[in-house]
């Protein structure tokens, strides 16, 4: 059993600490929010993450997991200290490292013995060196440290699976012995381990997220073309995905990506590229295409309804993806703002994210279920593909709305079924031919 201190009880820190405890280690999680610490020690979950709450409670009862606001208590007897604090957008495209700096300073001030410090947060390239210098500035002579980069690859909604069954473990350090020690924590999981230097490990995280975001923007760019030419982007993605060089993942056309990772990490990589004298034109296009997907919804509604002023719009889903209550950078928030700016009244229902949505918006009505949200609406927009939305009774939904306009932003519904139910259906490039398609003449006909 290893003694592990995890600094930060946000999404990554809470998941990591809980999973490490469930693997048989003694884990103390440190957070400066005393009310949050008390709530966690009582077994109350601050986030919606399937299965994590039950694991947290069982490890609290087993005595393997505790929470504290005291760095001295958290660091006492620790063999490893994981930094898992937030690195939000700094407002200028870069990552705000204030929480990382503060954590490193506090570790240095309270540490009284040698430890391995592990950067779990997503941090710009070079942050491992920064953490080392800050801790060295404040630590006692006997509290020697080695820093290892160990970026997280957790998907919200699937975090428990990703933590306990990782596809790979990435470690970066100039100290091979320290990397082997951290590798030992993951020994029983059977995942491949990539060992490299600090900066390369940090870059692997950014490159991975940027590539996934690029796949999403690519298929959305293809969808925009399909929409004009009458092709079905779902069938296009299916045909592409069978190619082993491409694969099917992250090829679902829709309203683009959101959440706490992809937007922030792509922007941070753009910032790092610019600061190093590079021109990250593809990454910039990824962000621009992502923004365009929200404009498509508004343009479709205006084309259909004529105006959005005083129109009632029902929004199904506000979390950035299913199985989470996270609304950070959620497409729904952008859409709500655009709809309100155009004079529309918005009513929202989400199975898990209503409280967070209420804190992030103004002037929005919240419904108790999808049918209540759609009552007397001029248009219904499917934004988040929760399972309960996939099984809605479209005939019942049609009877409730004032105007039968359905915008399927995630291509959840069969166009024929939605049309048979009486809706004017608008999916994302579902192959419904527009009024006027360009004529592509054959070479023989053109010569004749």
pLDDT of the residue at 1: 86
Last residue of a domain, one of 166, 196, 226: 196
Last residue of a domain, one of 196, 227, 242: 196
For the stretch 2-55, pLDDT in tens is 999 999 999 999 999 999 999 999 999 999 999 999 999 999 999 999 999 999
Contact 234/306 with Cβ under 8 angstroms? Answer: no
Claim to verify: residue 143 and residue 236 sit in the same structural domain: no
pLDDT of the residue at 253: 97
Claim to verify: residue 119 and residue 252 sit in the same structural domain: no
Last residue of a domain, one of 154, 172, 196: 196
Structural domain includes residue 311: yes
Structural domain includes residue 406: yes
Closest CA to 134 of 112, 154, 108: 108
Structural domain includes residue 441: no
- Beta-bridged to residue 430, according to DSSP, are 232
Distance, CA of 159 to CA of 166 (rounded, Å): 10
Contact 135/108 with Cβ under 8 angstroms? Answer: yes
CATH number at residue 305: 3.40.50.720
Distance, CA of 329 to CA of 360 (rounded, Å): 10
- Beta-bridged to residue 382, according to DSSP, are 316, 408
Claim to verify: residue 95 and residue 176 sit in the same structural domain: yes
Structural domain includes residue 413: yes
Distance, CA of 265 to CA of 314 (rounded, Å): 31
Distance, CA of 253 to CA of 244 (rounded, Å): 20
pLDDT of the residue at 434: 52
Structural domain includes residue 437: no
Structural domain includes residue 436: no
Claim to verify: residue 299 and residue 399 sit in the same structural domain: yes
Q: Is 193 exposed, middle or buried (0-12, 13-18, 19+ CB in 10 A)?
A: middle
Claim to verify: residue 147 and residue 270 sit in the same structural domain: no
Claim to verify: residue 146 and residue 48 sit in the same structural domain: yes
Claim to verify: residue 289 and residue 151 sit in the same structural domain: no
Claim to verify: residue 271 and residue 171 sit in the same structural domain: no
Claim to verify: residue 182 and residue 274 sit in the same structural domain: no
Contact 2/27 with Cβ under 8 angstroms? Answer: no
Structural domain includes residue 201: no
Claim to verify: residue 233 and residue 291 sit in the same structural domain: yes
- Beta-bridged to residue 380, according to DSSP, are 314, 406
For the stretch 113-140, pLDDT in tens is 999 999 999 999 999 999 999 999 999 9
Closest CA to 117 of 140, 83, 90, 141: 83
Claim to verify: residue 143 and residue 224 sit in the same structural domain: no
Claim to verify: residue 317 and residue 179 sit in the same structural domain: no
First to last CA, the chain: 82
pLDDT of the residue at 293: 92
Structural domain includes residue 445: no
Distance, CA of 76 to CA of 448 (rounded, Å): 86
Contact 133/153 with Cβ under 8 angstroms? Answer: no
Would the pTM of this model clear 0.85, i.e. be above it?
Answer: yes
The total of structural domains in the chain comes to 2
In which residue ranges of the chain is pLDDT below 70?
432-448
The residues annotated with a catalytic role in the active site are: 261
263: domain range? 210-427
């Amino acid at each position: 059993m290893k003694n592990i201190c995890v600094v930060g009880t946000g999404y990554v820190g809470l998941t990591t600490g809980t999973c490490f405890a469930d693997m048989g280690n003694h884990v103390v999680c440190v957070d400066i929010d005393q009310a949050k610490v008390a709530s966690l020690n009582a077994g109350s979950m601050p986030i919606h993450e399937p299965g994590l709450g039950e694991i947290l409670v069982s490890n609290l009862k087993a005595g393997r997991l505790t929470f504290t606001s005291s760095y001295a208590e958290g660091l006492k007897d620790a063999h490893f200290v994981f930094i898992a604090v937030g690195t939000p957008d700094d407002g200028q495209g870069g990552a705000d490292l204030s929480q990382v700096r503060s954590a490193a300073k506090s570790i240095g001030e309270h540490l009284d013995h040698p430890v391995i410090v592990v950067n779990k947060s997503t941090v710009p390239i070079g942050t491992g060196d920064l953490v080392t210098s800050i801790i060295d500035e404040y630590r006692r002579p006997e509290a020697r440290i080695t820093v290892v980069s160990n970026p997280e690859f957790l998907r919200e909604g699937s975090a428990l699976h990703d933590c306990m069954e990782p596809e790979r473990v990435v470690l970066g350090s100039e100290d091979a012995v320290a990397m082997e020690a951290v590798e030992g924590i993951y020994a029983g999981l059977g995942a491949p381990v990539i060992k490299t230097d600090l900066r390369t490990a940090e870059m692997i995280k950014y490159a991975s997220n940027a590539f996934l975001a690029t796949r999403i923007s690519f298929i959305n760019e293809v969808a925009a073309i399909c929409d004009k030419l009458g092709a079905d982007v779902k069938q296009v993605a299916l045909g592409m995905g069978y190619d082993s060089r491409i694969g099917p993942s992250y090829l679902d056309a829709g309203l683009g990506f959101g959440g706490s990772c992809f937007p922030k990490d792509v922007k941070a990589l753009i910032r790092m590229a610019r600061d190093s004298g590079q021109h990250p034109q593809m990454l910039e296009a990824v962000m621009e295409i992502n923004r365009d997907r929200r404009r498509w919804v508004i343009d479709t509604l205006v084309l259909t309804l004529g105006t959005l002023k005083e129109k009632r719009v029902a929004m199904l889903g506000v979390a950035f993806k299913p199985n989470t209550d996270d609304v950070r950078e959620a497409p729904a928030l952008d859409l709500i703002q655009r709809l309100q700016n155009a004079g529309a009244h918005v009513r929202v229902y989400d199975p898990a994210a209503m409280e967070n949505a209420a804190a992030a918006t103004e002037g929005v009505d919240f419904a108790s279920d999808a049918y209540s949200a759609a009552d007397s609406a001029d248009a219904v927009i499917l934004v988040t593909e929760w399972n309960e939305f996939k099984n809605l009774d479209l005939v019942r939904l049609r009877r409730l709305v004032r105007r039968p306009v359905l915008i399927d932003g995630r291509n959840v519904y069969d166009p024929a079924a939605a049309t048979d139910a009486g809706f004017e259906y608008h999916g994302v490039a579902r192959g419904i031919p527009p009024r006027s398609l360009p004529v592509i003449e054959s070479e023989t006909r053109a010569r004749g």
